[in-house]
Structure 1
Amino acid sequence: MMGNAYVIVVDGLGVGAQEDAKEYGDEHMNTLGHISQKTGVQLPNLQKMGIGNILPLASIPENENPLSAFGKLREVSAGKDSTTGHWEIAGIQLEKPFPTYPDGFPEDVIKAFCEGIGVEKALCNKPYSGTEVIRDFGEEHLKTGYPIVYTSADSVFQIACHEDVVSIDKLYEWCEYTRNQIMVGKHEVGRVIARPFTGKPGSFERISDKRHDYSSLPPQNNLVQKLYDAGVKTYSIGKVADLFAGEGFTQYRPTKSNAEGISQLLSLMSADLDNSFVFVNLIDTDQLFGHRLDPEGYAGSLREFDRAIPAIVSKIREGDLLIITGDHGNDPCSNSTDHSREFVPLLVFPKGVAISEDLKTGDTFSNIACSVAEFFGVEHDFPGRSFLN
């Protein structure tokens, strides 16, 4: 049997501000460091892997004999969002960032959107928190039927609609139209996102498992597509496939929560896979706790993942590769609900496959793409270098 490679992205898990973080207003961010200091979180299994060796952590000591090779990776692409981060992990470096809209979308964009889907107007059209936007505009949406359109510091066009006003299937149609007809050319955002919600005024709730991301099409020269074209079976767990517009995956498994993502991963690992690449995103840390400035919730989500580490490691066969990393930061101990420009952690198991136990600071997230491509013997021209023997 041929080996399998598993890449687990803990969404929003940063390990300290990058050298260029000041350009993004993020010079004081340190997601994992601040959570450790603020909550005293204990992560015994990740500690055994060596996460405390990557940076000083108040509640997680170094390990003299870590199970994994350890280090951190620098993002070189312009941006700090999930699409940019996952694309760089897959070997795509963006010199030009996706467009953002700190003052809302231009009038011509909103006009084209409304005319295209057949509504008179859109509500909000500002950068907004996803929970606050339905609180502040949800009642008007119920009365008028007008969709709520908003953005964030990321390159996103988000459409929120109550499921009783606009069916989820209709919302998906609107998003697909917006992706393909409106947010193109100079307005090609990283993602158009469907944000359905439910409930009554004063108690609206997002239907997180029905969220759907419509990504910009990635360049074909990326790790997932290269592996797929070479005959490697490729699996997405969580929102990964959405970030690659569904391109290059043998199978994708959407998830409602980190618990389900971990369950799906363990299920695949028990299925006698061979010659397979499994790309996992665990979103709760970012979506539920980072954006909502909830360090205790974030810490709890990390503990949930930590408890799963022994089961995951036990299913790694001889000849397999496991990589744990992040895609950007999202410091819940800050005053910002946005992503942050941070290094991300790198744990490589088993450590014997790595060039050294201490991998220090890699020049790009794309070191992962180089390493996984090398693992499967697939030729590539990704930027970066492999950290494997």
Structure 2
Amino acid sequence: MPRALLIVLDSVGIGGAEDAEAYGDAGADTVGHIAEACAEGCGDQAGLRQGPLHLPHMTALGLGLAAEASTGRMPPGLAPQGPLNGAWGYGVETSKGKDTPSGHWEIAGVPVTFDWGYFPSTIPTFPEALTTALVERGNLPGILGDKHASGTTIIDEFGAEHMRTGKPIVYTSVDSVLQIAAHEESFGLERLYELCRIGRELCDEYKIGRVIARPFVGSPEAGFKRTGNRKDFATPPPSDTILDTLDKAGRSVVTVGKIGDIFAHRATGREIKPNGNDACLSAAIAAMGDLPDGGFVFANLVDFDSEFGHRRDIPGYAAALETFDRRIPEIEAALQPGDLVIITADHGNDPSWPGTDHTREHVPILCFGSGVKLGTIGRRESFADIGASVLAHVGVRNPGKGTPWL
């Protein structure tokens, strides 16, 4: 039986969706604006990344063509220079919101039809009842923050006071999240996770999608730095995803990166959670090495979003894309005859855009493998077509949403 590998390049959007204006994102274009900035000489301060955006392997898979179909503009440097090596198209999100669960759940066949809850842009931002319960149940002396903030900025602002008082830093963003930052050593990592479990329970009535543990290390003198021990506590999908369908069919599933967290660890098979894009991609490639026939590997590469998109780091984002592109031959080498690879994204996070939040965008869909028909798969009217195509490829009936292109 054939196998499938699905890689989500977290936040690698290719142009504002038709409803982007409703989200304040009309004109956003993650890949297009990065390519334009690089064509104009964008480089990093260390001089390690300079010049035009160079993505030869994804370009040969149709990335530039997908971006052009999405926006009407070919990003500089992404026009194919030879024969295509894959099938290409772009996906349109039907879910409400522009956050991680919405995108991933829709990819897996469950578009979000309800409205997420969000915390207001006020100080304090959290309802008094929620804060009081979190303090009491968590046996805390209080909390710090209680506002919308960038995750790195708020640690710099409150890190020293947190270490002095033992009060965790609690904050949010325009996404449906409650985030809790605490020092791994002075507060304790497991204590932070337990506090987030309490927060998860408390946030259910507010329809908040995720409670995120944001551990950090360091000192007021040397500065603070977030670690790779982030953990997301997500509400579970409201109905069966393709992961549930594959589990019921007895298929082998491996999930890499934060996929397990996003799906609340339901039907997520063998979970592997390394730190960073390269480690996650290496784990996904290794998983293909012993994946049984009919199996599925589902990977998320979060650094594009967390390290570069939210931080509005255009050179860093460009370098991360180029690093991933260089490793595509490794993915190809790990495949068996009949295997399918799909590369896509869950939303945008245009690093040239105002603010620090996600952008409502179309996503690329690039697929390759020995049996893939080369050329366009066109505009896909839901991300759910991706999951439906995975099920069609591995020969499992799709009971949910989505229309396969295979």
TM-score (norm 2): 0.92
Aligned to 1:154: 175
Q: Which of residues 48, 60, 64 is equivalent to 2:60?
A: 48
More deviation, 226-235/377-386: 377-386
Distance 1:359 1:155 in 2: 32
Aligned to 2:26: 27
- Displacement of 1:210 in angstroms is 0.6
Aligned to 2:71: none
Aligned to 1:345: 364
Distance 2:348 2:322 in 1: 18
Work out whether residues 235 and 277 of structure 1, in 8 Å CA contact, stay in contact via their aligned partners in 2. yes
Work out whether residues 10 and 283 of structure 1, in 8 Å CA contact, stay in contact via their aligned partners in 2. yes
The 3 A distance-change label for structure 1 pair 255 and 97 is farther
Aligned to 1:377: 395
The 3 A distance-change label for structure 1 pair 63 and 92 is farther
Aligned to 1:95: 113
Aligned to 1:283: 302
Aligned to 2:392, the other structure's residue is in SS state helix
Off by >4 Å, runs of 4+ in structure 1: none
Could you tell me which runs of 5 or more consecutive residues in structure 2 were left unpaired when the two chains were aligned. Answer: 39-51, 68-73
Work out whether residues 67 and 351 of structure 1, in 8 Å CA contact, stay in contact via their aligned partners in 2. no
Distance 1:380 1:54 in 2: 26
Aligned to 2:89: 71
| CA deviation vs aligned residue, 1:311-366 (integer Å, no higher than 9, x gap) | 10122221111100000000011122100000000001138535x72122110000
Distance 2:176 2:370 in 1: 36
Aligned to 1:164, the other structure's residue is in SS state helix
Q: Which of residues 181, 195, 198 is equivalent to 1:174?
A: 195
| CA deviation vs aligned residue, 1:119-164 (integer Å, no higher than 9, x gap) | 1321111111000010011111111111110001111110001123
Could you tell me which runs of 5 or more consecutive residues in structure 1 were left unpaired when the two chains were aligned. Answer: none
Work out whether residues 252 and 294 of structure 2, in 8 Å CA contact, stay in contact via their aligned partners in 1. yes
| CA deviation vs aligned residue, 1:200-222 (integer Å, no higher than 9, x gap) | 12643343311100110113411
Aligned to 2:6: 7
**1:252 and 2:275 are equivalent in the alignment:** no
User: Residues 192-207 of structure 1: matches in 2 within 5 Å?
Assistant: 192-201=211-220, 203-207=222-226
Aligned to 1:131, the other structure's residue is in SS state helix
Distance 2:175 2:224 in 1: 22
Aligned to 2:337, the other structure's residue is in SS state coil
The one-letter code matched in structure 1 to 2:77 is: S
Distance 2:395 2:115 in 1: 31
Distance 1:339 1:281 in 2: 16
Work out whether residues 23 and 360 of structure 2, in 8 Å CA contact, stay in contact via their aligned partners in 1. yes
- Displacement of 1:172 in angstroms is 0.6
**1:59 and 2:86 are equivalent in the alignment:** no
The one-letter code matched in structure 1 to 2:187 is: V
Work out whether residues 90 and 224 of structure 1, in 8 Å CA contact, stay in contact via their aligned partners in 2. yes
Aligned to 1:252, the other structure's residue is in SS state strand
More deviation, 88-97/271-280: 271-280
Distance 1:204 1:214 in 2: 27
Aligned residues: 384
CA RMSD of aligned residues (A): 1.5
- Displacement of 1:109 in angstroms is 1.1
Distance 1:99 1:332 in 2: 25
**1:328 and 2:339 are equivalent in the alignment:** no
Q: Which of residues 385, 394, 400 is equivalent to 1:367?
A: 385
| CA deviation vs aligned residue, 1:90-144 (integer Å, no higher than 9, x gap) | 0111112321113221111111111111113211111110000100111111111
Aligned to 2:37: 38
Q: Which of residues 86, 90, 99 is equivalent to 1:81?
A: 99
Work out whether residues 217 and 227 of structure 2, in 8 Å CA contact, stay in contact via their aligned partners in 1. no
The one-letter code matched in structure 2 to 1:172 is: Y
Aligned to 1:163: 184
More deviation, 61-70/26-35: 61-70
- Displacement of 1:295 in angstroms is 0.6
- Displacement of 1:188 in angstroms is 2.7
The one-letter code matched in structure 2 to 1:312 is: I
The 3 A distance-change label for structure 1 pair 161 and 224 is same
Q: Which of residues 225, 231, 245 is equivalent to 1:226?
A: 245
